Structure 1
Amino acid sequence: MATQSQGIQQLLQAEKRAKDKMEEAKKRKNKRLRQAKEEATAEVDQYKLKRESDFRRIQTTIMGSQGNLATKIDEQTVQKIQAYNANYQKSKESVVKELLNLIYDVNPELHINYKYKI
C-alpha cells in the first residue's frame, strides 16, 4: 500500500511539474506574442511615418506648382483687364460718336410695301 501511495505521490508530482512547465510555456508564448506585437507596431509606425513624409513631399511639390500657377493666372487676369480697360478708353469716344451719328442721321423714307393712292 505504501508503494501505491508512493506511486500516486510520484504521479501527482509529475502532474504538477507538467502543469508548471505548461504554465511556463504559456508565459513564454504570451511574452513572445507581446514582443512580436510591439515589433510589428513599431514597424507599422515607422512605415506610416515614411509614407506620410513621402506624401507631404509630393504634396508640397504639387501644391507649390499650383500656388505658382495661381499667381501666374492672377497676373494674366490683371494684364487682360488692363488691356480691356485701355481698349475701352481708346474706343469709347469713337463708338459714342458713331452711335450718335446713327441716331441723329435719320433719312425718312416710305416703306416699300406702302402704296401711294392719288
Structure 2
Amino acid sequence: MASQSQGIQQLLQAEKRAAEKVAEARKRKNRRLKQAKEEAQAEIEQYRMQREKEFKTKEAAALGSHGNSAVEVDRDTVERMALIQASYRGNRETVLGDLLRRVCDITPEFHVNYRVAG
C-alpha cells in the first residue's frame, strides 16, 4: 500500500510538473504573439509614414503650380479692388452732384400726349 501511495504521489507530482510546463509554454506563446503583434504594428506604422511622405511629396508637386495660381489670383484681386476704390473715390463727388442736380432741378412741362379739354 505504501508503494501504491508513493506511486500516486509520484503521478500527482508528474501531473503537476506537466501542468506547469503547459502553463509556461502558454506564457511563452502569449509573449511571442504579443511581440509579433508589436513588431507588426511598428512595421505598419513605418509603412504608413513612408506612404504619407510619398503622398505629401506628390501633393506638393501637384499643388506647386496651383499654389502659385492662388497667389497670382489674390494679388490680381487686390489690385482690382484698389483700382475700383480709386475710381469710386475719384468719381463719387461728380456722380452725387449730377444725381442731386437731376433730382432737385425740376422744370415743369406738359407731356407730349397731354390734351387740354376744352
TM-score, length-normalised on structure 1?
Answer: 0.64
SS at match of 2:51: helix
Which amino acid is the alignment partner of residue 43 of structure 1?
Answer: A
Does 2:106 align with 1:109?
Answer: yes
Displacement of 1:84 after TM fit?
A: 2.5
Q: Structure 1 stretches of 5 or more lacking a match?
A: 1-7, 113-118
TM-score, length-normalised on structure 2?
Answer: 0.64
Superposition pairs of residues 1-118 of structure 1, within 5 angstroms: 8-65=1-58, 75-105=68-98, 106-107=101-102, 108-109=105-106
Displacement of 1:40 after TM fit?
A: 0.7
Distance in 1 separating the partners of 2:55 and 2:74: 28
Distance in 2 separating the partners of 1:24 and 1:67: 64
Residues 111 and 99 of structure 1, relative CA distance in 2, 3 Å threshold: farther
Distance in 1 separating the partners of 2:59 and 2:107: 65
Q: Which moved more, 1:76-85 or 1:62-71?
A: 62-71
SS at match of 2:44: helix
Give the % identical residues. 6
Residues 34 and 94 of structure 1, relative CA distance in 2, 3 Å threshold: closer
Distance in 2 separating the partners of 1:17 and 1:92: 104
Distance in 2 separating the partners of 1:99 and 1:111: 28
Q: Structure 2 stretches of 5 or more lacking a match?
A: 110-118
1:4 matched residue in structure 2: none
